[in-house]
Amino acid sequence: MKIEIDKKSGFCFGVQNAVEIAEKALLRGEKVFSLGPIVHNDKEVERLSSLGLVSINHEQFRQLKNCKVLIRAHGEPPETYRTADENNISIIEATCPIVKKLHSRISETWERIKKDNGQIVIFGKPGHAEVVGLLGQTNNEGILISKSTDTDKIDFTRPVALFSQTTMEIKEFNYIKELIYNKMKERGTIDPDNYFQVNNTVCGQVSNRGPHLMAFARDHDTVIFVSGKESSNGRMLFSVCKSVNPDTHFVSSSEEIDKSWFAGKSSVGICGATSTPKWLIENIRDFVANI
What is the pLDDT, as a whole number, of residue 291? Answer: 85
Report yes or no: 163 and 199 within 8 Å, Cβ to Cβ. Answer: yes
* CATH number, residue 140: 3.40.1010.20
One domain for residues 108 and 182: yes
- Residue where a domain terminates, one of 36, 68, 96: 96
One domain for residues 27 and 109: no
One domain for residues 181 and 217: no
One domain for residues 46 and 117: no
pLDDT tens string 158-216: 999 999 999 898 889 999 999 999 999 998 899 999 999 999 999 987 778 889 999 99
One domain for residues 110 and 197: yes
One domain for residues 102 and 197: yes
Give the C-alpha separation, 5 to 278, whole Å: 10
* CATH number, residue 62: 3.40.50.11270
Q: Into how many domains does the chain fold? A: 3
Neighbour order of strands in the sheet with 222-226: 2-5, 267-272, 222-226, 248-251
One domain for residues 103 and 197: yes
One domain for residues 193 and 219: no
Q: What is the DSSP letter of 230?
A: T
One domain for residues 18 and 86: yes
One domain for residues 142 and 237: no
Report yes or no: 164 and 125 within 8 Å, Cβ to Cβ. Answer: no
Report yes or no: 117 and 141 within 8 Å, Cβ to Cβ. Answer: no
Residue 25's domain comprises 13-96
Name 276's Cβ contacts closer than 8 Å, sequence gap at least 6: 9, 10, 11, 41, 226, 227, 228, 231, 234
Nearest partner of 8 among 204, 272, 280, judged by Cα? 272
Report yes or no: 22 and 73 within 8 Å, Cβ to Cβ. Answer: no
One domain for residues 284 and 274: yes
Report yes or no: 74 and 95 within 8 Å, Cβ to Cβ. Answer: yes
Q: Phi/psi class of residue 263: alpha, beta or left (left: φ > 0; alpha: ψ in -120 to 50)?
A: beta
Is 79 annotated in the active site?
Answer: no
Task: Find the DSSP H helices in 72-147.
Answer: 78-86, 97-113, 129-136
- Residue where a domain terminates, one of 96, 112, 137: 96
One domain for residues 73 and 123: no
Task: Find the DSSP H helices in 188-221.
Answer: 192-195, 204-207, 209-218
- For β-strands 32-35 and 2-5, DSSP reports them as unpaired
Give the C-alpha separation, 58 to 87, whole Å: 13
- Residue where a domain terminates, one of 96, 130, 155: 96
Q: Which residue among 20, 46, 130, 230 is the active-site one?
A: 130
Per-residue pLDDT of the chain (291 residues; tens, 9 = 90+): 899 999 999 999 999 999 999 999 999 998 999 999 999 999 999 999 999 999 999 999 999 999 999 999 999 999 999 999 999 999 999 999 999 999 999 999 999 999 999 999 999 999 999 999 999 999 999 999 999 999 999 999 999 999 999 989 888 999 999 999 999 999 889 999 999 999 999 998 777 888 999 999 999 999 999 999 988 889 989 999 999 999 999 999 999 999 999 999 999 999 999 999 999 999 999 999 998
